[in-house]
Amino acid sequence: MATRAAKLALRGKALSDTGTEIGIVNNADATAITIDSNENVGIGTSSPSAKLQISSTYPTFTLDETNTDAAYQQTQLALDDGSFRIQTRTSTNVFVSNDYIIEKDASGAADHIWKIANTERMRIDSSGNLLVGTQNTTWASQEGLRYFNGSSLIVTRDSDEPLNLNRLTNDGQIISLKKDGTTVGSIGTVGGDLVVGSTDTALRFHDLDNRIYPVNVSGGTKVDGAVDLGDPTGRFKDLYLSGETKVTSTGVDGTYAPILRGIYSGNANETNSIETTVSSNATGSGFKFNVSNGGGSAGQTEALRITRAGTYAPLGIKLGGTGAANTLDDYEEGTWTPTVAYGTVAHSNTTYTKIGRIVHATTRLSNFSDVTSNQHVRIGGLPFSVSGTDQHIGSAWGNFANKSLWCYSAGTTESPLYYGGTSPSSYGPVYYSSFSSGDQVIVQFTYKT
Protein backbone atom coordinates (compact mmCIF):
# COMPACT_ATOMS: atom_id res chain seq x y z
CA MET A 1 0.00 0.00 0.00
CA ALA A 2 1.45 3.32 -0.98
CA THR A 3 2.02 5.90 1.70
CA ARG A 4 0.65 9.35 1.06
CA ALA A 5 3.22 12.01 1.70
CA ALA A 6 2.32 15.07 3.79
CA LYS A 7 1.80 18.12 1.75
CA LEU A 8 1.61 21.87 2.18
CA ALA A 9 -0.54 23.55 -0.40
CA LEU A 10 -1.25 27.21 -0.95
CA ARG A 11 -4.69 27.67 -2.31
CA GLY A 12 -6.01 30.99 -3.63
CA LYS A 13 -9.34 32.09 -5.12
CA ALA A 14 -10.31 32.06 -8.74
CA LEU A 15 -10.20 35.33 -10.65
CA SER A 16 -13.93 35.35 -10.77
CA ASP A 17 -14.16 34.93 -6.97
CA THR A 18 -14.46 38.13 -5.00
CA GLY A 19 -12.82 36.61 -1.95
CA THR A 20 -9.25 37.48 -1.09
CA GLU A 21 -8.31 34.74 1.41
CA ILE A 22 -5.21 32.64 1.01
CA GLY A 23 -5.37 29.21 2.59
CA ILE A 24 -2.78 26.67 3.74
CA VAL A 25 -4.25 23.21 3.54
CA ASN A 26 -3.37 20.00 5.41
CA ASN A 27 -3.19 16.44 4.17
CA ALA A 28 -6.97 16.20 4.18
CA ASP A 29 -7.22 19.06 1.72
CA ALA A 30 -8.88 21.08 4.51
CA THR A 31 -7.79 24.64 5.17
CA ALA A 32 -5.67 24.71 8.35
CA ILE A 33 -4.40 28.28 8.30
CA THR A 34 -6.16 31.22 6.70
CA ILE A 35 -4.67 34.66 5.98
CA ASP A 36 -7.24 37.16 4.86
CA SER A 37 -6.92 40.50 3.10
CA ASN A 38 -6.82 42.32 6.46
CA GLU A 39 -3.72 40.34 7.30
CA ASN A 40 -5.61 38.43 10.00
CA VAL A 41 -4.34 34.91 10.58
CA GLY A 42 -6.74 32.16 11.57
CA ILE A 43 -5.79 28.73 12.85
CA GLY A 44 -8.75 26.39 12.96
CA THR A 45 -10.98 29.07 11.44
CA SER A 46 -11.35 30.42 7.93
CA SER A 47 -12.76 33.75 9.15
CA PRO A 48 -10.28 35.20 11.59
CA SER A 49 -11.41 38.39 13.33
CA ALA A 50 -8.05 39.29 14.89
CA LYS A 51 -4.43 39.38 13.82
CA LEU A 52 -4.09 35.87 15.27
CA GLN A 53 -7.10 33.74 16.11
CA ILE A 54 -6.85 30.10 17.28
CA SER A 55 -10.15 28.25 17.31
CA SER A 56 -10.61 24.81 18.88
CA THR A 57 -12.63 22.95 21.50
CA TYR A 58 -9.56 23.41 23.75
CA PRO A 59 -7.47 26.17 22.19
CA THR A 60 -3.92 26.34 23.49
CA PHE A 61 -0.71 28.19 22.87
CA THR A 62 2.42 26.40 24.05
CA LEU A 63 5.87 27.79 24.83
CA ASP A 64 8.31 24.88 24.67
CA GLU A 65 11.82 25.39 26.01
CA THR A 66 14.15 22.95 24.21
CA ASN A 67 16.73 22.95 26.97
CA THR A 68 16.69 19.28 28.00
CA ASP A 69 17.84 20.16 31.51
CA ALA A 70 14.43 21.71 32.24
CA ALA A 71 12.10 19.17 33.85
CA TYR A 72 9.01 21.31 33.28
CA GLN A 73 9.88 22.98 30.01
CA GLN A 74 6.43 23.79 28.67
CA THR A 75 4.24 26.73 29.63
CA GLN A 76 0.81 26.56 28.06
CA LEU A 77 -1.79 29.26 27.62
CA ALA A 78 -5.19 27.62 27.33
CA LEU A 79 -8.88 28.45 27.22
CA ASP A 80 -10.86 25.77 29.03
CA ASP A 81 -14.61 25.99 29.56
CA GLY A 82 -14.53 29.76 29.47
CA SER A 83 -11.57 30.16 31.86
CA PHE A 84 -8.17 31.40 30.76
CA ARG A 85 -5.31 29.40 32.28
CA ILE A 86 -1.54 29.53 32.39
CA GLN A 87 -0.32 25.99 33.00
CA THR A 88 2.94 24.21 33.63
CA ARG A 89 3.57 20.97 31.67
CA THR A 90 6.42 18.54 31.29
CA SER A 91 8.50 18.16 28.15
CA THR A 92 6.10 15.43 27.03
CA ASN A 93 3.07 17.72 27.45
CA VAL A 94 1.90 16.09 30.69
CA PHE A 95 -0.15 18.53 32.86
CA VAL A 96 1.55 19.61 36.11
CA SER A 97 -0.36 22.60 37.51
CA ASN A 98 -2.57 25.58 36.87
CA ASP A 99 -0.51 28.64 37.82
CA TYR A 100 -2.88 31.46 36.93
CA ILE A 101 -6.59 31.37 36.15
CA ILE A 102 -9.04 34.04 35.01
CA GLU A 103 -12.56 32.80 35.62
CA LYS A 104 -15.28 34.38 33.48
CA ASP A 105 -18.98 34.95 33.80
CA ALA A 106 -21.59 36.77 31.72
CA SER A 107 -19.98 40.09 32.54
CA GLY A 108 -16.51 39.01 31.52
CA ALA A 109 -13.58 38.27 33.80
CA ALA A 110 -14.82 37.31 37.30
CA ASP A 111 -11.96 36.09 39.52
CA HIS A 112 -8.21 36.23 38.95
CA ILE A 113 -6.59 33.28 40.72
CA TRP A 114 -2.89 32.61 41.40
CA LYS A 115 -1.78 29.09 42.29
CA ILE A 116 1.47 27.52 43.46
CA ALA A 117 1.92 23.74 43.32
CA ASN A 118 -1.68 23.57 42.07
CA THR A 119 -2.90 25.12 45.36
CA GLU A 120 -4.56 28.51 45.33
CA ARG A 121 -2.53 31.19 47.12
CA MET A 122 -4.17 34.46 46.05
CA ARG A 123 -7.15 35.79 44.13
CA ILE A 124 -8.84 39.01 43.12
CA ASP A 125 -12.56 38.33 43.12
CA SER A 126 -15.29 39.89 41.00
CA SER A 127 -15.84 42.63 43.62
CA GLY A 128 -12.21 43.71 43.42
CA ASN A 129 -11.34 42.20 46.82
CA LEU A 130 -7.81 40.89 47.24
CA LEU A 131 -7.71 37.56 49.07
CA VAL A 132 -4.40 36.01 50.12
CA GLY A 133 -4.30 32.58 51.72
CA THR A 134 -8.08 32.26 51.51
CA GLN A 135 -10.85 31.91 48.93
CA ASN A 136 -13.61 33.66 50.90
CA THR A 137 -14.41 36.92 52.66
CA THR A 138 -15.31 35.34 56.02
CA TRP A 139 -12.64 37.26 57.94
CA ALA A 140 -14.13 36.94 61.45
CA SER A 141 -13.49 33.21 61.77
CA GLN A 142 -11.11 32.10 59.00
CA GLU A 143 -7.45 32.86 58.42
CA GLY A 144 -6.16 34.99 55.58
CA LEU A 145 -5.32 38.47 54.40
CA ARG A 146 -8.24 40.32 52.88
CA TYR A 147 -8.31 43.75 51.29
CA PHE A 148 -11.92 44.69 50.70
CA ASN A 149 -12.15 46.98 47.68
CA GLY A 150 -12.68 50.56 48.81
CA SER A 151 -13.03 49.43 52.43
CA SER A 152 -10.43 47.93 54.72
CA LEU A 153 -7.49 45.57 55.11
CA ILE A 154 -8.07 42.71 57.54
CA VAL A 155 -5.57 40.04 58.55
CA THR A 156 -6.81 36.99 60.44
CA ARG A 157 -4.56 34.36 61.97
CA ASP A 158 -5.34 31.49 64.29
CA SER A 159 -3.52 31.40 67.65
CA ASP A 160 -0.67 33.72 66.64
CA GLU A 161 0.17 37.31 65.67
CA PRO A 162 -1.83 38.51 62.64
CA LEU A 163 0.67 41.28 61.91
CA ASN A 164 4.38 41.82 62.57
CA LEU A 165 6.15 45.10 61.73
CA ASN A 166 9.92 45.21 62.17
CA ARG A 167 12.06 48.36 61.96
CA LEU A 168 15.81 47.75 61.66
CA THR A 169 18.87 49.63 62.95
CA ASN A 170 17.52 52.80 64.59
CA ASP A 171 14.58 54.24 66.53
CA GLY A 172 11.72 56.05 64.86
CA GLN A 173 8.25 55.50 63.46
CA ILE A 174 6.99 51.99 62.81
CA ILE A 175 3.47 53.07 61.83
CA SER A 176 2.52 56.53 60.57
CA LEU A 177 -1.20 57.36 60.80
CA LYS A 178 -2.59 59.96 58.39
CA LYS A 179 -5.87 61.75 57.66
CA ASP A 180 -6.22 63.22 54.15
CA GLY A 181 -2.45 62.97 53.78
CA THR A 182 -1.69 64.75 57.05
CA THR A 183 -0.02 62.84 59.87
CA VAL A 184 -2.29 62.59 62.92
CA GLY A 185 -0.32 60.09 64.98
CA SER A 186 2.27 57.37 65.00
CA ILE A 187 3.53 54.26 66.72
CA GLY A 188 7.27 53.96 67.05
CA THR A 189 10.25 53.45 69.31
CA VAL A 190 12.57 55.61 71.39
CA GLY A 191 15.44 53.98 73.23
CA GLY A 192 13.90 50.61 72.46
CA ASP A 193 10.63 51.64 74.19
CA LEU A 194 7.19 51.86 72.60
CA VAL A 195 5.95 55.42 71.92
CA VAL A 196 2.32 56.03 70.89
CA GLY A 197 0.70 59.38 70.21
CA SER A 198 0.74 62.61 68.22
CA THR A 199 3.23 65.51 68.32
CA ASP A 200 3.51 66.60 71.98
CA THR A 201 0.70 64.36 73.26
CA ALA A 202 2.15 60.87 73.41
CA LEU A 203 2.94 58.10 75.88
CA ARG A 204 6.23 56.31 76.35
CA PHE A 205 6.11 52.82 77.82
CA HIS A 206 9.44 52.69 79.65
CA ASP A 207 10.18 49.01 80.06
CA LEU A 208 13.31 49.39 82.19
CA ASP A 209 11.67 51.62 84.83
CA ASN A 210 8.19 50.05 84.50
CA ARG A 211 6.61 53.46 83.88
CA ILE A 212 4.29 55.19 81.44
CA TYR A 213 4.76 58.94 81.04
CA PRO A 214 3.89 61.74 78.56
CA VAL A 215 6.48 62.57 75.89
CA ASN A 216 6.97 64.39 72.63
CA VAL A 217 6.42 61.81 69.91
CA SER A 218 9.26 62.99 67.65
CA GLY A 219 12.11 62.51 70.10
CA GLY A 220 10.54 60.83 73.08
CA THR A 221 11.49 63.72 75.39
CA LYS A 222 9.39 64.09 78.52
CA VAL A 223 6.49 66.57 78.58
CA ASP A 224 6.14 67.87 82.14
CA GLY A 225 2.84 69.14 83.54
CA ALA A 226 1.21 69.87 80.16
CA VAL A 227 -0.99 66.84 79.33
CA ASP A 228 -4.40 66.27 80.97
CA LEU A 229 -6.11 62.93 81.51
CA GLY A 230 -9.81 63.38 80.65
CA ASP A 231 -11.80 66.62 80.83
CA PRO A 232 -15.00 67.89 82.53
CA THR A 233 -17.30 66.17 80.00
CA GLY A 234 -15.08 63.21 79.12
CA ARG A 235 -14.18 61.56 82.39
CA PHE A 236 -12.69 58.27 83.43
CA LYS A 237 -14.57 56.31 86.07
CA ASP A 238 -12.55 54.55 88.79
CA LEU A 239 -8.81 54.59 89.43
CA TYR A 240 -7.28 51.56 91.11
CA LEU A 241 -3.81 51.90 92.61
CA SER A 242 -1.66 49.72 94.82
CA GLY A 243 0.91 52.38 95.69
CA GLU A 244 1.12 56.13 96.27
CA THR A 245 -0.44 59.03 94.41
CA LYS A 246 2.29 61.65 94.02
CA VAL A 247 1.41 65.23 93.06
CA THR A 248 4.15 67.82 92.61
CA SER A 249 3.27 71.18 94.19
CA THR A 250 4.12 74.60 92.80
CA GLY A 251 7.62 74.48 94.22
CA VAL A 252 7.21 78.03 95.64
CA ASP A 253 7.42 78.28 99.42
CA GLY A 254 4.02 79.02 100.89
CA THR A 255 2.24 79.06 97.51
CA TYR A 256 -0.65 76.61 97.47
CA ALA A 257 -1.76 74.76 94.33
CA PRO A 258 -4.74 72.38 93.88
CA ILE A 259 -4.04 68.64 93.91
CA LEU A 260 -7.66 67.43 94.07
CA ARG A 261 -10.86 69.09 92.94
CA GLY A 262 -14.47 67.94 93.25
CA ILE A 263 -16.68 69.46 90.54
CA TYR A 264 -20.46 69.85 90.74
CA SER A 265 -21.98 68.12 87.68
CA GLY A 266 -24.67 70.79 87.36
CA ASN A 267 -22.25 73.73 87.24
CA ALA A 268 -18.52 73.33 86.66
CA ASN A 269 -17.84 76.63 88.47
CA GLU A 270 -18.83 75.12 91.81
CA THR A 271 -15.93 73.11 93.17
CA ASN A 272 -14.40 71.87 96.39
CA SER A 273 -10.64 71.53 96.39
CA ILE A 274 -7.62 70.38 98.34
CA GLU A 275 -4.48 72.47 97.90
CA THR A 276 -0.95 71.82 99.10
CA THR A 277 2.46 73.36 99.20
CA VAL A 278 5.75 71.69 100.07
CA SER A 279 8.47 74.00 101.28
CA SER A 280 12.10 73.70 102.23
CA ASN A 281 11.01 75.60 105.32
CA ALA A 282 8.74 73.28 107.27
CA THR A 283 6.64 76.24 108.43
CA GLY A 284 5.51 76.84 104.83
CA SER A 285 4.34 73.30 104.13
CA GLY A 286 0.71 72.34 104.50
CA PHE A 287 -2.73 71.47 103.15
CA LYS A 288 -5.79 73.65 102.52
CA PHE A 289 -9.35 72.33 102.27
CA ASN A 290 -11.68 74.70 100.39
CA VAL A 291 -15.48 74.48 100.11
CA SER A 292 -17.57 75.93 97.28
CA ASN A 293 -19.60 79.06 97.99
CA GLY A 294 -22.37 77.66 95.73
CA GLY A 295 -24.80 79.77 93.74
CA GLY A 296 -23.05 79.04 90.45
CA SER A 297 -19.98 81.05 91.38
CA ALA A 298 -16.38 79.90 91.29
CA GLY A 299 -15.77 81.27 94.79
CA GLN A 300 -14.51 79.08 97.62
CA THR A 301 -14.09 79.44 101.36
CA GLU A 302 -11.18 77.88 103.17
CA ALA A 303 -12.62 75.51 105.77
CA LEU A 304 -9.54 73.76 107.11
CA ARG A 305 -5.78 74.22 106.95
CA ILE A 306 -3.14 71.84 108.26
CA THR A 307 0.39 73.21 108.63
CA ARG A 308 3.51 72.58 110.62
CA ALA A 309 4.72 75.44 112.80
CA GLY A 310 8.28 74.14 113.08
CA THR A 311 10.51 71.14 112.66
CA TYR A 312 9.51 69.58 115.97
CA ALA A 313 6.40 71.58 116.74
CA PRO A 314 2.95 69.94 116.90
CA LEU A 315 0.77 70.02 113.83
CA GLY A 316 -1.29 73.15 113.34
CA ILE A 317 -4.91 72.74 112.18
CA LYS A 318 -7.03 75.79 111.38
CA LEU A 319 -10.81 75.67 111.24
CA GLY A 320 -12.98 78.34 109.61
CA GLY A 321 -10.17 80.82 108.96
CA THR A 322 -6.44 81.42 108.84
CA GLY A 323 -5.93 83.51 111.99
CA ALA A 324 -4.26 82.43 115.22
CA ALA A 325 -7.66 82.06 116.86
CA ASN A 326 -8.62 79.41 114.28
CA THR A 327 -5.70 77.14 115.08
CA LEU A 328 -6.17 73.74 116.63
CA ASP A 329 -2.56 73.55 117.66
CA ASP A 330 -2.85 71.41 120.76
CA TYR A 331 -3.68 67.81 121.51
CA GLU A 332 -2.79 66.54 124.97
CA GLU A 333 -3.58 63.62 127.23
CA GLY A 334 -2.64 63.22 130.90
CA THR A 335 -3.65 62.91 134.52
CA TRP A 336 -4.52 65.56 137.12
CA THR A 337 -4.86 65.76 140.89
CA PRO A 338 -8.22 66.83 142.37
CA THR A 339 -8.15 68.88 145.58
CA VAL A 340 -10.70 69.99 148.20
CA ALA A 341 -10.62 73.08 150.39
CA TYR A 342 -11.31 71.18 153.64
CA GLY A 343 -9.73 67.94 154.61
CA THR A 344 -8.52 65.45 152.07
CA VAL A 345 -10.07 63.18 149.46
CA ALA A 346 -8.91 60.08 147.56
CA HIS A 347 -9.25 59.83 143.79
CA SER A 348 -8.89 57.30 140.96
CA ASN A 349 -9.34 57.12 137.17
CA THR A 350 -8.33 60.77 137.05
CA THR A 351 -7.49 61.64 133.41
CA TYR A 352 -7.95 64.41 130.89
CA THR A 353 -7.84 64.95 127.11
CA LYS A 354 -7.36 68.40 125.59
CA ILE A 355 -8.07 69.02 121.88
CA GLY A 356 -7.46 72.60 120.97
CA ARG A 357 -9.43 74.61 123.53
CA ILE A 358 -11.78 71.79 124.56
CA VAL A 359 -10.96 69.86 127.77
CA HIS A 360 -12.51 66.53 128.77
CA ALA A 361 -11.65 65.50 132.38
CA THR A 362 -12.93 62.80 134.73
CA THR A 363 -12.29 61.49 138.24
CA ARG A 364 -13.75 59.22 140.95
CA LEU A 365 -13.68 60.86 144.44
CA SER A 366 -13.88 58.81 147.67
CA ASN A 367 -12.97 58.78 151.38
CA PHE A 368 -13.67 62.42 152.22
CA SER A 369 -11.81 63.11 155.51
CA ASP A 370 -14.22 65.97 156.40
CA VAL A 371 -17.79 64.74 156.57
CA THR A 372 -19.00 67.11 159.29
CA SER A 373 -18.47 70.72 158.26
CA ASN A 374 -21.14 72.78 156.57
CA GLN A 375 -18.71 74.13 153.98
CA HIS A 376 -19.44 74.09 150.23
CA VAL A 377 -17.59 71.27 148.43
CA ARG A 378 -15.34 72.76 145.76
CA ILE A 379 -13.27 70.49 143.50
CA GLY A 380 -9.98 72.14 142.60
CA GLY A 381 -6.92 71.19 140.57
CA LEU A 382 -8.63 71.13 137.18
CA PRO A 383 -5.91 70.63 134.53
CA PHE A 384 -6.76 73.93 132.75
CA SER A 385 -8.61 77.10 133.68
CA VAL A 386 -12.20 77.52 132.52
CA SER A 387 -12.87 80.28 130.01
CA GLY A 388 -15.63 82.64 131.07
CA THR A 389 -17.83 82.84 134.16
CA ASP A 390 -21.11 81.22 135.19
CA GLN A 391 -20.30 78.06 133.28
CA HIS A 392 -21.98 74.67 133.64
CA ILE A 393 -18.93 72.51 133.04
CA GLY A 394 -19.92 68.99 134.06
CA SER A 395 -22.05 66.56 135.99
CA ALA A 396 -21.57 63.99 138.75
CA TRP A 397 -23.13 60.90 140.17
CA GLY A 398 -22.77 59.48 143.67
CA ASN A 399 -24.25 58.64 147.10
CA PHE A 400 -26.15 61.82 147.69
CA ALA A 401 -29.85 61.39 148.46
CA ASN A 402 -30.62 60.17 144.93
CA LYS A 403 -30.17 63.66 143.56
CA SER A 404 -28.20 64.64 140.48
CA LEU A 405 -25.05 66.69 140.92
CA TRP A 406 -23.70 69.29 138.58
CA CYS A 407 -20.54 71.35 138.34
CA TYR A 408 -20.24 75.10 138.12
CA SER A 409 -17.27 77.34 137.44
CA ALA A 410 -16.58 81.02 137.71
CA GLY A 411 -13.60 80.94 135.36
CA THR A 412 -10.92 79.31 137.52
CA THR A 413 -9.50 75.82 138.00
CA GLU A 414 -12.06 75.19 140.76
CA SER A 415 -15.60 73.83 140.44
CA PRO A 416 -18.19 73.97 143.22
CA LEU A 417 -20.66 71.08 143.38
CA TYR A 418 -24.40 71.69 143.39
CA TYR A 419 -27.32 69.33 143.61
CA GLY A 420 -30.57 69.47 141.72
CA GLY A 421 -33.92 68.20 143.02
CA THR A 422 -37.20 67.22 141.42
CA SER A 423 -38.35 70.82 141.02
CA PRO A 424 -36.65 73.97 139.69
CA SER A 425 -36.42 75.42 143.22
CA SER A 426 -35.04 72.23 144.73
CA TYR A 427 -31.32 72.78 144.25
CA GLY A 428 -28.44 74.02 146.34
CA PRO A 429 -24.81 73.60 147.31
CA VAL A 430 -23.34 70.27 148.32
CA TYR A 431 -21.71 70.40 151.80
CA TYR A 432 -19.06 68.12 153.27
CA SER A 433 -21.57 67.08 155.92
CA SER A 434 -23.70 65.63 153.11
CA PHE A 435 -21.27 62.72 152.74
CA SER A 436 -20.38 59.77 154.83
CA SER A 437 -16.78 58.55 154.98
CA GLY A 438 -17.40 55.72 152.48
CA ASP A 439 -19.34 57.74 149.89
CA GLN A 440 -18.03 58.09 146.31
CA VAL A 441 -18.70 60.65 143.55
CA ILE A 442 -17.87 60.20 139.84
CA VAL A 443 -17.37 63.56 138.13
CA GLN A 444 -17.04 64.35 134.39
CA PHE A 445 -16.02 67.77 133.12
CA THR A 446 -16.23 69.20 129.60
CA TYR A 447 -15.32 72.84 129.16
CA LYS A 448 -13.53 75.40 127.00
CA THR A 449 -10.23 76.72 128.26
Give the pLDDT confidence score for residue 252 in this predicted structure.
65
Q: Helix (H, G, I), strand (E, B), or coil: what is residue 256?
A: coil
At 348, which amino acid appears? S
Beta bridge partner(s), residue 79: 84
At 175, which amino acid appears? I
Spatial separation of the C-alpha atoms in residues 412 and 439, rounded to whole Å: 26
Percent of the chain clearing pLDDT 70 (strictly above)? 82
Give the pLDDT confidence score for residue 3 in this predicted structure.
43
Instruction: Report how far apart, in Å, the C-alpha atoms of 411 and of each of 226, 338, 418 are.
Output: 58, 17, 16
Average pLDDT value for residue range 203-208: 93
Give the pLDDT confidence score for residue 305 in this predicted structure.
80
Q: Are strands 346-355 and 391-398 parallel, antiparallel or unpaired?
A: unpaired
- pLDDT tens, residue by residue, 101-111: 888 876 766 88
Task: State yes or no: pLDDT of 127 exceeds 60.
Answer: yes
Give the pLDDT confidence score for residue 172 in this predicted structure.
92
Read off the pLDDT band of 203 (50, 70, 90): very high
Q: Helix (H, G, I), strand (E, B), or coil: what is residue 293?
A: coil
Q: Helix (H, G, I), strand (E, B), or coil: what is residue 54?
A: strand
Read off the pLDDT band of 46 (50, 70, 90): confident
Give the pLDDT confidence score for residue 399 in this predicted structure.
65
Spatial separation of the C-alpha atoms in residues 196 and 190, rounded to whole Å: 10
Q: Are strands 346-355 and 427-429 parallel, antiparallel or unpaired?
A: unpaired
163, 154 in Cβ contact below 8 A? no
- pLDDT tens, residue by residue, 337-390: 999 999 999 999 999 998 878 899 999 999 889 999 999 988 999 999 898 888
The dihedral through the CA atoms of 374, 379, 381, 384 has a sign that is negative
Give the pLDDT confidence score for residue 204 in this predicted structure.
94
- One-character DSSP codes across 90-115: -TT--EEEEEEEEEEETTEEEEEEEE
Average pLDDT value for residue range 157-179: 93
Average pLDDT value for residue range 155-170: 94
- The closest alpha carbon to 68, from 95, 92, 38, belongs to 92
Task: State yes or no: pLDDT of 157 exceeds 70.
Answer: yes
Spatial separation of the C-alpha atoms in residues 92 and 76, rounded to whole Å: 12
In terms of Cβ atoms closer than 10 Å to its own Cβ (0-12, 13-18, 19+), residue 189 is middle
Give the pLDDT confidence score for residue 179 in this predicted structure.
93
Read off the pLDDT band of 283 (50, 70, 90): low
Average pLDDT value for residue range 13-38: 65
164, 173 in Cβ contact below 8 A? no
Give the pLDDT confidence score for residue 20 in this predicted structure.
53
Task: State yes or no: pLDDT of 123 exceeds 70.
Answer: yes
Beta bridge partner(s), residue 278: none
- Rounded mean pLDDT of the chain? 83
Read off the pLDDT band of 9 (50, 70, 90): very low
- The closest alpha carbon to 103, from 90, 112, 91, 114, belongs to 112
What are the CB-based long-range contacts (under 8 Å, 24+) for 142-148? none
Give the pLDDT confidence score for residue 311 in this predicted structure.
38
Phi, psi (deg, nearest 5) at residue 311: -60, -40
Length of the chain: 449
Task: State yes or no: pLDDT of 401 exceeds 60.
Answer: no
Average pLDDT value for residue range 240-244: 90
Read off the pLDDT band of 322 (50, 70, 90): low
Read off the pLDDT band of 5 (50, 70, 90): very low
The dihedral through the CA atoms of 422, 423, 426, 432 has a sign that is positive
- pLDDT tens, residue by residue, 77-94: 998 888 889 998 888 888
At 110, which amino acid appears? A
Average pLDDT value for residue range 422-444: 79
Spatial separation of the C-alpha atoms in residues 340 and 322, rounded to whole Å: 41
